[in-house]
Amino acid sequence: MYIMAKTKSTRQGKYQFVGKLSDFQKLEANSKSFMKYEQDKYTAYQNYLYKRALYGLKSLSKEEFDKTCKQKRKRISRVYLRGQKVINRLKQESTNAYSNLIFKTLFPESPLTDWLISNSDTDDKFKNTLNFADIGITKDDIVQVFIEEGILPYNFMDIQDQKCNLPRLKYQSK
């Protein structure tokens, strides 16, 4: 049998750590010991506007949804639907360009390839279900298209912070 010698504890309180802390801190912080998250170049308000255009009413929290009036909800919903049509068209154009490239490299002299390249129109009734990563569409591409289509404001890249939440007057006094 082993007999363990009882050592006298040096801790002051019930929950104080007694062991050697340096033994647990042998690993130094390096680039592999922590996670690096992707940070985009947009401010919080720009991300708010982008998500509101991309996700619609689903982007609002429950409190925010309850505070917004019916007209604003309708406006957000209309912008969301317009945005979804634009994104669908962007996905179709990107998919068409990729498939045209494939057909052009594999069958350069084929009449089918010539017909596909000449008839690469988009259809608003067809819903493209591919995700952005598979097609190669980035957030910057979506923002650029949203600005061109008027879904996001033309000065979206210059917006820094949200203006105060006072209602806009038609004729403001100076």
What are 148-171's pLDDT values in tens digits? 999 999 999 988 877 655 555 556
Residues with Cβ within 8 Å of residue 56, at least 6 apart in sequence: 76, 77, 79, 80, 81, 83
Residue 168 DSSP one-character state: P
Residue 161 DSSP one-character state: S
Whole-model pTM: value is 0.68
Long-range contacts of 146-150 (CB under 8 A, 24+ apart): 146/50, 146/53, 146/83, 146/86, 149/82, 149/86
pLDDT of residue 144 exceeding 70, the answer is yes
Share of the chain above pLDDT 70, in %: 71
Give the model's confidence band at 174: pLDDT under 50 very low, under 70 low, under 90 confident, else very high: very low
Give the model's confidence band at 117: pLDDT under 50 very low, under 70 low, under 90 confident, else very high: confident
**Model confidence over 73-104: pLDDT tens digits?**
999 999 999 999 999 999 999 998 998 888 88
Query: What's the mean pLDDT when you consider all of the chain?
Result: 81
Asked which of 37-41, 82-86, 91-95, 123-127 is least confident by mean pLDDT, the reply is 37-41
Q: Which two tokens stand for residue 125?
A: 């009734």
Ordered DSSP codes for 120-169: ----TTSPP---HHHHT--HHHHHHHHHHHTSS-TTGGG--SPPPSPPPP
Q: What is the model's pLDDT at position 123?
A: 85
Q: What is the model's pLDDT at position 1?
A: 54
Q: Where are the domains of the chain?
A: 44-152
8 Å CB contact between 141 and 27: no
Give the model's confidence band at 4: pLDDT under 50 very low, under 70 low, under 90 confident, else very high: low
